[in-house]
Amino acid sequence: MQLEQKEKGNLGWDEVLKWDLATLSQALHSRQLSPTELTKVLLERIETVDPNLNSFITIMSEQAMMAAAEAEKSIMQEVIKSPLHGVPIGLKDLIYTKGIRTTMGSHMYKDFLPSYDATVVTKLQQAGAVIVGKLNTHEFAYGTTGDTSFFGPVHNPYNPAKITGGSSSGSGAAVAAHLCYGALGTDTGGSIRVPASFCGIVGMKPTFGRVSKWGVYPLSPTLDHVGPMTKTVRDNAIMLNVLAGYDEKDPSSVNLEPEDFTLTLEEGLQGYVIGVPSTFFFEQIDDEIAARIEQVLSIYQRIGASVRPVDLEQMDSILQAQRTVLSCEAYATHRFHLDKEGWTTEVKNRIQTGEAVKAFEYLEALEIKKRAIQSFNKVFEQVDVLLTPNTPVLPSDIYEREVEVDQQKTHIFSVLNKLTSPSNLTGLPCISVPCGFSSNGLPLGFQLTGRALNESLLYRIAYAFEQATMKD
């Protein structure tokens, strides 16, 4: 590729690797950077940095270099497929890749080679993205810590002794550590948003049905979502532009006209109302998290939004309903291979609890789901979005299972996804937005929840905060 040598000489690969996706895209498509050189340097960084993080299970070096060479050829011919053309992207290792092992973080699937690509993989390939590898995950995505995988725990880039959050643990760590410019995660109870929060990146759980789940190994089919994890809000919207769309192979897929989620990013917040729930989301949370949310709300008021307290009814029942559905559907998904060897005890025990869920309990949970959707829709008649913490606690130590909340010891699995799980039951879109660091240097994030299929507004409100705090 004929590059502008002066421009290239001024860049420095250390700087380029830290760029966001949008900046990189512009440089690639204006021929300031070579996709093949970039991919080669990035793969070298993965080999150097990732042994300390364990974010990758499979590094797709050969395939990535071939895709980069193909992208370079097209760009030289001025054929730009999308903003992702030539951009290195990672995939959570629940997402099927034809002929490339897809492990689910499990011993049982350590050598599994799918015979087809997931729909989201096909979409990325059609967009010209360079897929660099498969990212570590909590075994079968059934855990919020990200430290239980056949391939070992993922370590937080900000403190390797701490968890990344799960189950999209590798996706969170890899994006934060500049090992890819974006990644796909899955979210059944917070598995995109928790690691996004703990790793200081942006994570979007789109509306249920917005992104196809076909070819993604299920955990709980009525709760599972696929979404992008990125360095910035704009990057996230760019990725969702590629991922969103109807898929007849996914029975839950929503058939809508294509939408550009970047279109209204910069239109400001004047006249918009942010709702803050008066209960549940702010009960028994870490003092530092509570204080940071207050600062976030102050910033929003400063940049033009108004803040209003709102009441959300029966949140404890909604949370319990989500957990009932998850337990029941996870057991239904995995019961056929529970007798096989290779399970971690913790994950197998969690799945087996679903056998005890009675049919009437599952049906009651589905009724609560209907009422929950009505309850949230009623609140959205008063406000445009809801703002809450992502988690009640900061990242814990790897393998730590008891944490202190409000001076009481509690199991981490009952805490980490407490504030994220309700939106999996309702299927509403949520985005995790970074908002600084704790006193011990760990990332903090907050969560915005919006009306169904209104991801554009979530991006707009998240972007306004991001831009207001870029220099902080």
Name the residue ranges covered by the structural domains of the chain: 5-243, 273-457
φ, ψ of residue 159 in degrees (nearest 5)? -165, 105
Domain spanning 5-243: which superfamily? Amidase signature (AS) domain (3.90.1300.10)
Q: Do domains 5-243 and 273-457 have the same CATH topology?
A: yes
Q: Assess contact for 384 and 393: CB atoms under 8 A.
A: no
Nearest alpha carbon to residue 411 among 137, 143, 194, 139: 143
- Known active-site residue 197: no
Nearest alpha carbon to residue 285 among 168, 170, 197, 347: 197
CATH number of 273-457: 3.90.1300.10
Determine the 3-state secondary structure of 413 from DSSP.
helix
Q: Assess contact for 247 and 214: CB atoms under 8 A.
A: yes
φ, ψ of residue 300 in degrees (nearest 5)? -60, -40
What pLDDT sits at residue 408? 85
Sort 349 into a burial class: Cβ within 10 Å, 0-12 / 13-18 / 19+. Answer: exposed
- Known active-site residue 167: yes
Q: Assess contact for 144 and 191: CB atoms under 8 A.
A: yes
Alpha helices in 50-150 (DSSP H): 61-76, 119-126
Q: In what order do the strands lie in the sheet with 430-437?
A: 56-59, 130-135, 88-92, 182-187, 225-230, 202-205, 430-437, 443-449, 385-389, 273-277, 306-310
Residue type, 198: F
Of the residues 191, 212, 220, 253, only one is catalytic, namely: 191
Per-residue pLDDT of the chain (472 residues; tens, 9 = 90+): 333 433 444 569 999 999 999 999 999 999 999 999 999 999 999 999 999 999 999 999 999 999 999 999 999 999 999 999 999 999 999 999 999 999 999 999 999 999 999 999 999 999 999 999 999 999 999 999 999 999 999 999 999 999 999 999 999 999 999 999 999 999 999 999 999 999 999 999 999 999 999 999 999 999 999 999 999 999 999 999 999 999 999 999 999 999 999 999 999 999 999 999 999 999 999 999 999 999 999 999 999 999 999 999 999 999 999 999 999 999 999 999 999 999 999 999 999 999 999 999 999 999 999 999 999 999 999 999 999 999 999 999 999 999 988 788 999 999 999 999 999 999 999 999 999 999 999 999 999 999 999 999 999 999 999 999 986 5
Of the residues 149, 167, 253, 396, only one is catalytic, namely: 167
Q: Assess contact for 56 and 170: CB atoms under 8 A.
A: yes
Angle, alpha carbons 341-114-217 (nearest 5°): 65
Nearest alpha carbon to residue 326 among 362, 360, 356: 362
Q: What predicted TM-score, i.e. pTM, was given to this entire model?
A: 0.97
Rounded to whole angstroms, the Cα distance separating 194 from 347 reads 18
* Tokens (6 digits) for 382: 């008063």
Residue type, 446: F
* Tokens (6 digits) for 124: 């990325």
Is the bond leading into 149 cis (omega within 30 degrees of zero)? no
Of the residues 25, 34, 55, 92, only one is catalytic, namely: 92
Nearest alpha carbon to residue 156 among 394, 390, 393, 395: 395
Nearest alpha carbon to residue 67 among 162, 180, 166, 163: 180
